[in-house]
Structure formats: C-alpha cells, structure tokens
C-alpha cells in the first residue's frame, strides 16, 4: 500500500461527485474551487486513519471528501471576509463571480459536506456527524478570532495557539479521527487519533508561519516575507510584539505602521528584528514540541506496525516540509 493509491481513489471519486446543475451560478463555483487542487491532506488523513484498522478503507472515501469539501467551503467564505483576490494562484470565487454567489455557493458546499458524510455507516453516523458539527463550529470560532486579532497588537501566544488550533488543527484531528471511527477503532483510539492530528496540525501551521520568513526562496514556491509585507499576525510577529522592548519595539511598530515602504527593505528589516529576538529558534522549538506531542499520541495507538508507519511517514513529511 502506498499513499499514491489513496490519492488516486480520492481523485477518482472527486471526479464522480455531482454537485448539482441549476442554477449554474450556484454550482459552477463549487466545481471551480474543487478543481483548484491542493494537497488533499485532510481526506488523505481520513483514509490513512481507516486503513489502520480495516482493509475496506474505500468505504471512507466519500466521508473523507466531505471533510475536503468542508475545508474548501471555509476557504470560499474566508476569501470573501479577507477580500483575497487569489486562491492557489487563481481568482477567488467572489472575484470571478461576486460576493453574493460566493456566500450562497459556500452555503451549499457546507450542505454538500454533510451529504458526503452521510455515507458513514448507520451505526457510526450519529457520532461522526456530532463530532464533525462540533469541529465545524470550532473552525468558524477560529476564523472569528483570527479576524478579531487583525485590530489588536496585544495577542498572547496562548490566544494565538488557540486560534490556529480552532481554525486549522481541529479539522486535521477530526479527519484522522473520522478515518479511525469508520475503520472500527474504539473510542480511546479515536481520541488519540484526534489529538495526534490536532497536535501535528498546530506544528504544521506554525511551520507555515516560519517558512514564510525563513523558508528557502527556491524551495518555498511563494514569495518569502509575504506575511511581513501584509502585517499578518503570525506566531513570529505576535512573539516579536510580546518581546521587543525600547528602540527595537519602536522600530518594529514603525515598520508595521508605515503606509509606504520598499517591500524587500521591510522584509529584511523585520527579519533582522526577529533574528535579534531569537524568534526563529523559539518558533522552531514550539514546532518541535507540537510535533513531538503528536507522535506521542500516535504511539498510544494499537494498530499493525506497517500501517502505522504509513501515517507516521506522512506526518514526518509535514514536519520536514520546505514548502
């Protein structure tokens, strides 16, 4: 078994999903955003979670895609709220169509996500949907926190971690838990899967923040320093705001409040401030903490070693990624 087989099964099924036809303004944006690709990390986690406990992992494919459709629904609505022009290098739905269509298509996508999750077997359906619903509400809570942070300069590390946990990590945890549930894992095991996925997810998001500043420009694929240019409240920035004192703090605030600046100069200057404060090392240390917690969670799971190795291997790629 290799991840390529899981990915192929997901792609096959993705192509067979009928999202509906009329009115086209409602359903074309769904096909569009789903066609933009992405790593399909969440449904992959679901399939890996199922495969830990059953050979019949294919029964997890449609529910797994429910998680992926939900994720893409959040992207569609987040892009409206963030007024983002591009998503994966292509125009966002509200730019390509309009805001109202992006709201309403997103609403249908959330319904579609539940429809795909309805493919969980009857005896596990109530638990799968109750846990999904709790997770979905938490993702919205995380997005609201993220928006609230935009106008604040005093976000604490604990608040920031809580925000990314809700906005990003709980869904990774749920994706893995769902796979375990479908595969037949007991309650204790699905909890380990959830927590493991969530911890890896926090590390993953912190790594995202780190790579944006310290990534290898060749390997990273995106413009290094994009978050600095946009004043995005990343882990690095909130730590720097929490730690910088005196002249260094004044310099940081100055860069954050300038309306006109040379982008490369700002990236260089803010990175230098991060360097002086040891933000890189601090961030790496937190990333390692969360990844280590995730692997400890996975240690608690009783499954066939060669199948667990697949999951561990996948998680390792998330740890070691350069882009």
Q: Between residues 110 and 312, which has the closer beta carbon with respect to a copy of itself?
A: 110
For the bound state, the minimum distance from the C-beta of residue 62 to a copy of itself, rounded and expressed in Å, comes to: 13
The CB-based long-range contact list for 218-223 (8 Å cut-off, 24+ gap) reads: 219/322, 219/323, 220/322, 220/323, 221/323, 222/323
What phi, psi does 212 have (nearest 5°)?
A: -60, -30
What phi, psi does 302 have (nearest 5°)?
A: -100, 100
CB 200 within 8 A of CB 176: no
Q: Between residues 111 and 309, which has the closer beta carbon with respect to a copy of itself?
A: 111
- CB-count exposure of residue 166 (10 Å: 0-12, 13-18, 19+): buried
For the bound state, the minimum distance from the C-beta of residue 102 to a copy of itself, rounded and expressed in Å, comes to: 9
Interface contacts to a copy of itself, rule CB under 8 A: 20, 22-23, 25-26, 77, 80-81, 100-101, 103-104, 106-108, 110-112, 114-115, 118, 122-123, 125-126, 129-130, 133, 136-137, 140-141, 143-145, 147-148
Q: Between residues 147 and 230, which has the closer beta carbon with respect to a copy of itself?
A: 147
For the bound state, the minimum distance from the C-beta of residue 64 to a copy of itself, rounded and expressed in Å, comes to: 18
For the bound state, the minimum distance from the C-beta of residue 18 to a copy of itself, rounded and expressed in Å, comes to: 11
Helices (H), the chain: 3-16, 24-35, 41-51, 61-81, 93-96, 99-117, 122-149, 157-164, 170-183, 187-214, 217-220, 226-229, 235-243, 246-257, 263-277, 279-299, 305-320
For the bound state, the minimum distance from the C-beta of residue 105 to a copy of itself, rounded and expressed in Å, comes to: 8
Q: Between residues 107 and 289, which has the closer beta carbon with respect to a copy of itself?
A: 107
Q: Between residues 105 and 169, which has the closer beta carbon with respect to a copy of itself?
A: 105
For the bound state, the minimum distance from the C-beta of residue 53 to a copy of itself, rounded and expressed in Å, comes to: 22
CB 177 within 8 A of CB 149: no
Q: Between residues 78 and 212, which has the closer beta carbon with respect to a copy of itself?
A: 78
For the bound state, the minimum distance from the C-beta of residue 24 to a copy of itself, rounded and expressed in Å, comes to: 9
Q: Between residues 108 and 319, which has the closer beta carbon with respect to a copy of itself?
A: 108
Other residues' Cβ atoms within 10 Å of the Cβ of residue 19: 17
Q: Between residues 106 and 203, which has the closer beta carbon with respect to a copy of itself?
A: 106
What phi, psi does 171 have (nearest 5°)?
A: -75, -35
**CA-to-CA separations, 152 to 93, 159, 199, 231, in angstroms, rounded:** 29, 12, 26, 12
For the bound state, the minimum distance from the C-beta of residue 140 to a copy of itself, rounded and expressed in Å, comes to: 5
């Amino acid at each position: 078994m290799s991840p390529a087989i899981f990915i192929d099964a997901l792609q096959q099924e993705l192509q067979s999903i009928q999202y509906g036809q009329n009115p086209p303004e409602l359903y074309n944006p769904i096909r569009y955003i789903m066609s933009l690709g992405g790593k399909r990390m969440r449904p992959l986690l679901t399939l890996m979670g199922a495969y830990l406990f059953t050979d019949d992992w294919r029964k997890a494919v449609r529910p797994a895609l429910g998680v992926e459709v939900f994720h893409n629904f959040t992207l569609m609505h987040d892009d409206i709220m963030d007024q983002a022009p591009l998503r994966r290098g292509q125009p966002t739905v509200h730019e390509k169509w309009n805001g109202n269509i992006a709201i309403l298509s997103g609403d249908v996508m959330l319904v579609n996500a539940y429809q795909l999750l309805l493919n969980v077997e009857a005896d596990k359906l109530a638990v799968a949907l109750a846990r999904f619903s709790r997770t979905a509400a938490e993702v919205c809570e995380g997005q609201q926190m993220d928006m609230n942070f935009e106008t604040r300069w005093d976000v604490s590390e604990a608040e920031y971690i809580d925000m990314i946990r809700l906005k990003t990590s709980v869904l990774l945890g749920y994706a893995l838990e769902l796979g375990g549930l479908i595969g037949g894992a007991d309650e204790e095991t699905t909890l380990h899967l959830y927590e493991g996925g969530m911890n890896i997810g926090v590390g993953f998001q912190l790594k995202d923040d780190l790579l944006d500043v310290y990534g290898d420009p060749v390997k990273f694929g995106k413009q290094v320093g994009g978050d600095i240019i946009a004043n995005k409240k990343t882990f690095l920035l909130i730590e720097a705001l929490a730690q910088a004192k005196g002249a260094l703090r004044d310099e940081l605030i100055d860069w954050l409040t300038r309306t006109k600046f040379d982008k490369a100069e700002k990236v260089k200057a803010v990175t230098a401030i991060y360097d002086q404060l040891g933000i890189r090392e601090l961030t790496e240390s937190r990333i390692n903490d969360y990844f280590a917690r995730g692997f400890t969670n996975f240690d608690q799971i009783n499954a066939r070693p060669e199948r667990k190795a697949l999951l561990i291997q996948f998680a390792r790629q998330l740890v070691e990624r350069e882009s």
